[in-house]
Chain A
Amino acid sequence: MDKLTALLPAIPLSSAILIALLAGRPQRSLARLSVAFSVITLLLAAASLVLYLSERDAQWISSGLPWGSLYHDPLSSIMSLAVAGISLVVHVYSVRYMAEERGYVRFFVLLDLMTATILLMVAAGDLITLLVAWHLVGVLLYFLLGHDLQRPTAQRYAFWTFFTYRLGDLPLALAAVLLYQAFGTVSLPALFEHLAAAPDTQTIFGLPLAATVGLLVALAAFARSAQFPLHTWLPYTMEGPTPVSALMHAGIVNAGGFIITRFAPVFVYAGEVLHLVFAVGLVTAILGSVLMLTQNDIKKSLGYSTMGQMGFMFVECGVGAFSLAIYHLIAHGLFKGTLFLGAGGVIGNARNHDGVPQDDVYTFVVERKPVASRLPWVVAAAITVVVPFVILGLSHWLVGGDFVGQQGGIILLFFGWVTGAQLLFATYRLHAESPWRLMGMIILSLTIVVAGYTLIEHAFSQFLFPDQNLSERIYAAASIPWATFDVLVAILTAAIVLGWLATYYAAARGGTRDGDVSPLKLAFYSLISRELYVADVYARLTESVLALSKRLNVWTRWV
């Protein structure tokens, strides 16, 4: 098992070196060589996972040096498989997609180096290896996003990404230093054992070590996973090549969820940090989703959608559902990664054929004549409130038993309820020949999706956290006093139900689309269309620092 684990990052690294050395050969054959290495990497990752499943024994593999160790556990094995899988898809896609770009071979070298680095990151068994990989991901991503060396905007946004990643690298370095100073080892399993034995260990200024390290790890995760207000770089990564946008879903932008889960034993003692993670994730999810609605560029829209999804991933971490966050990370990575590749195809087609696509989908969406038939609004509202609640509650109760007794579980069900209700509301607004039949089909689909999702997530949770005790302790750490929780849930439920009723009522009366737009709405629209002015604030700060630098150089020009 140890050789297999070590081979995983070594294979794409060898590919990168080999391709760089053979750079003079025909480009397509080098790209195919890279794809072949990616296939081997994926097979090895699959074998590694199978081996883990057969042995069920996490292993810490030392290199014999103070660092360079690897950790083969459920998290690293499942993440390796996801990374290798997405990387292979991106490799195959890039063979033709990048064929007309300059620096074709350089692109594949960087792609392989990135794959090797992410695989090293997810399998890192000690702080130093983790830091090396964590830093390198940012550096390599900079070169991948700025692949087109002649386009200034690509360079500008590649730099934004690099700088934000650097901001996230540094808290992790400080966390590593604090852990090493406290326990004198860099081995992750050993550190977690020490922390479990002495959870009250204090660090600088008498602060609790676990909470301080947890906060630093969370800060690193915020920057890496585009959490508000460190999100501005993500939507602009569209300036990079489309395959890179897809690759980013393989453990780059979503590494925040990974790093928090990797440090799960620390977060058992850092409940207040989990609350912060929840709040930041919630704000990010809402803002990402809102900003997505106002974009007219498909890749930027997908970028904001990813930001929203990253927010949900942090919400899951914040409520203690770490395994769900990783499941979300992988599922979102696979689907959104391929969606980005599809977007690249759409953009390519749109550039080549600027006419409106007259196909069946277009006819269905744009030209379809509505049939004036809907469900009664009171019935639809009642279905919206009750049905998702019943489906979610029953499916989780059947597989999870006491899952709904956890605060985190209830919050997640709450989100599921709201999302399911949104779907039913969208169905209500559609005009159909047979609205009852349509609603029935939607409810059936929702039931299948929710039940399937719950079953898979439950199995995944048991795989990722075989130690149920740890999982329960994380949930407990993330919880708040029950009385406060109950009051908050009651207020939110009332607000949401009343909101839905008002929405249904307004929709039934034909909506309020006509009439003057209030100044408040216009101001809100300006705010959203300028993406909350966050990037403008950063630009002003950057200009100030550069102006200061210039001023210093002028004042001290004699040195």
Chain B
Amino acid sequence: MTLLLIAGLFLPLFPLSIVLNVAVTRLRHPVARFVLLLLWPQLGVMALQAAGQDVPSAFVPWALLSAGFYALRLLTVRDLGLWASFLATSALALTWALANGGASITELRFFAFWFSLPAALLALLTGPLSRRFGAAYAGLPGGLAGMLPRLSGVLVLAALAGVATPPFPTFFAMLGLLQRLGWSAALGTVFIWLIWGWAAIRLVQGFVVGPARQGSIDDIGRPSTLAYASLLVAFVAAGLYLTGGSL
């Protein structure tokens, strides 16, 4: 039970998810948020492995409710850091449903990683946004596509990766999850998936579209763009190699 409690904290289910979200909010440095979002769920999977217990079926509705709760909240969250944290919380909760379906520890590890990486990347992007505008708040610095096309491109791709859009591995991970779920849980999951997409478009529209600001603001540098792009390309390649065709 203790291990499940620990796992519940790291693969957060509401209300234990408060810990992760408070931690992300308190950590001001984007790199610290990046590391936290990447490592936190892996600790959860390790705790689950150490517990060596089957996940009770009662965890599936709890996980779906947690995921749905945070997906719904995502719709009106405008702070990019918090958005990334909520997306990670919503997606990672589904790890429990996957575990209940009999997935191996390796599968759980990858599932958690696929979803935490785009969220971590979004958290990292709060850095360049905050430096330029004082906050990473959708609606505050609108029209980024006209001013900062490179940053906008990376932001859009990371958001799409986070909400399970093909060809990112999150898409295949969701297909794999659906295959392991019962009918009602699968229906619940596709609704959560639908809300993610809605939330992502609202976020993108808040940052990227709209009239560009007057005055020059420097875009992220070419090396940074290359680093972000390489990471996303490697993400896609790894996903296609490791999970492509998950059903």
| Interface assignment of A131: CB less than 8 Å from any CB of chain B | yes
**A177 and B146 contact, CB distance less than 8 A:** no
| B interface with A by C-beta (< 8 Å) | 15, 17-18, 21-22, 69, 72-77, 143, 145-146, 160, 165-167, 171-172, 174-175, 178-179, 183, 186-187, 190, 193-194, 197-198, 201, 205, 208-212, 244-247
Contacts of A102 in B (CB 8 A): 146
- Is B197 a contact partner of A67 (Cβ separation < 8 A)? no
- In angstroms, Cα B190 to Cα A127, docked, is 17
Q: Are B244 and A65 in contact (CB under 8 A)?
A: yes
Q: Tell me if A's interface is mostly helix, strand, loop or mixed.
A: helix
| Residues on B with beta carbons closer than 8 Å to the beta carbon of A549 | 72-76
Closest to A184 in B: B247
Query: Hey, which chain A residues are within 8 Å of B197, CB to CB?
Result: 162-163, 166
- What distance in Å separates the Cβ of A201 from its nearest Cβ neighbour in chain B? 16
Closest 6 CB pairs of A and B: A66-B245, A67-B245, A549-B75, A132-B166, A170-B190, A549-B76
The answer to whether B244 touches A552 (Cβ under 8 A) is no
B245:A545 contact, CB within 8 angstroms: no
A424 to chain B, nearest CB (A): 48
Q: Which of B18, B146, B166 has the most CB of A within 10 A?
A: B166
- Once the chains bind, are A174 and B244 in contact (CB under 8 Å)? no
Q: A146-B209, A177-B175 are in contact. Are A546 and B76 (CB under 8 A)?
A: yes
Min Cβ gap B21→A in Å is 5
Interface window among A134-142, A342-350, A366-374: A134-142
Complex CA distance for A531 and B137, rounded to whole angstroms: 36
Q: Which residue of B lies closest to A551 (CB)?
A: B76
The answer to whether the Cβ of A167 comes within 8 Å of any Cβ in the partner chain is yes
A174 and B186 contact, CB distance less than 8 A: yes
Cα distance, A558 to B183, chains bound together (Å) = 34
Provide 5 A-B residue pairs closer than 8 Å at the C-beta atoms, listed in order of the A residue: A149-B143, A149-B208, A176-B175, A181-B179, A204-B183
Number of chain A residues whose Cβ lies closer than 8 Å to a Cβ of chain B = 43
**B183 contact from A127, A150, A205, A556, Cβ within 8 A:** A205
Interface of B is mostly: helix
**Distance between Cα atoms of A135 and B164 in the complex (Å):** 10
Q: A residues near B, CB below 8 A? A: 65-68, 102, 127-128, 131-132, 135-136, 139, 142, 146, 149-150, 152, 155, 159, 162-163, 166-167, 170, 173-174, 176-177, 180-181, 186, 204-205, 545-546, 548-550, 552-553, 556, 558-559
Give the interface centre of B17, B209, B211 by most chain A CB atoms within 10 Å: B209
Distance of A127 Cα from B172 Cα, bound (Å): 12
| CB–CB B247/A128 < 8 A | yes
Q: A127-B247, A149-B208, A150-B211 are in contact. Are A177 and B73 (CB under 8 A)?
A: no
* Distance A162 CA – B197 CA, assembled complex (angstroms): 9
- Supplied contacts A67-B244, A155-B205, A162-B197, 10 more A-B pairs, CB within 8 Å: A135-B165, A139-B165, A163-B197, A163-B201, A174-B187, A177-B175, A177-B178, A548-B72, A549-B72, A552-B73
